[in-house]
A = this chain, B = another copy of it.
Amino acid sequence: MAYEIEEIAKTLQSARVIKGLSQRALSERAGVPQAHISKIERGTVDLRLSSLIALARVLDLEVALVPRSAVPAVQSIVRSSSGPTRSARSTPAVIKELQRLHQTLAGIDQVTNGPKELLQFQRQLRELQHLPLAHEHLAALKNANSALEAFKKQQSGTEDIRRALSNLQTLRNSIAHQSDSWAANTTLRPAYTLDDEVGNG
């Protein structure tokens, strides 16, 4: 298979993984069979443009034809625009943990009517999903998760939730501070749809 095709295939796969979607989940949304997605990502097929567009759509990507002379500039734009999304947060473990957090939160039915800490927790989590989390932050996320689960099983009260929440806030602040150029973009960037239906193909 041609080099360029594999390049695009890699981009597709990377985007899918970052979005926390399984091949099957992507399959449903894009209307492309999972088997075919597998072949595409492996670069074993010369896919049609419609397939590429269908997949790109779901992955918030756009198929573009850019002049060769503009490629470097475009690359730098793309890098700076989706850099944190791509590089810093590409650690699979971190992504997984974020999903886990989201799911345990979804498993608590008193989020809306329960203590307000839970809602704040939810909001905090949503913000974190947009931040360039590195692998070093994994532990903090795990702690928050176990705190949440402890509360879910009623093994602890709202105090622990509040403490975990505070931890997440400090985490958020420490990260948001180190990259201001990124912070400017954060309002424009479409939020990940990590919220709905994560990783269940």
Chain A positions near chain B (C-beta within 8 angstroms): 2, 4-5, 8, 11-12, 15, 46-50, 52-53, 56, 60-71, 73-74, 77-78, 81-82, 85, 185, 188-190
Contacts and interface: CB of A to CB of B under 8 A. Distances in A.
Contact of A190 (B62, B63, B64, B68): B68
Tallying the copies of this chain within the complex gives 2
A64 to B, nearest CB: 5
Nearest to A188: B69
A48 B45 CA distance: 10
A67 B74 CA distance: 11
A2 B48 CA distance: 12
Given A47-B49, A77-B77, A66 B67 contact: no
A4 B82 contact: no
Given A190-B68, A190-B69, A46 B50 contact: yes
Given A62-B68, A69-B185, 8 more contacts: A2-B50, A4-B63, A47-B49, A62-B66, A63-B65, A64-B65, A68-B190, A74-B78
Given A48-B47, A49-B49, A50-B5, A70 B65 contact: no
B77 A70 contact: yes
Question: Quick one: which of A5, A61, A62, A189 has the most chain B CB within 10 A?
Answer: A62
Contacts of A189: 69
B61 A68 contact: yes
A83 B60 CA distance: 26
A49 B46 contact: yes
A124 to B, nearest CB: 23
Contacts of A64: 63-66, 71, 74
Contacts of A74: 64, 66, 74, 77-78
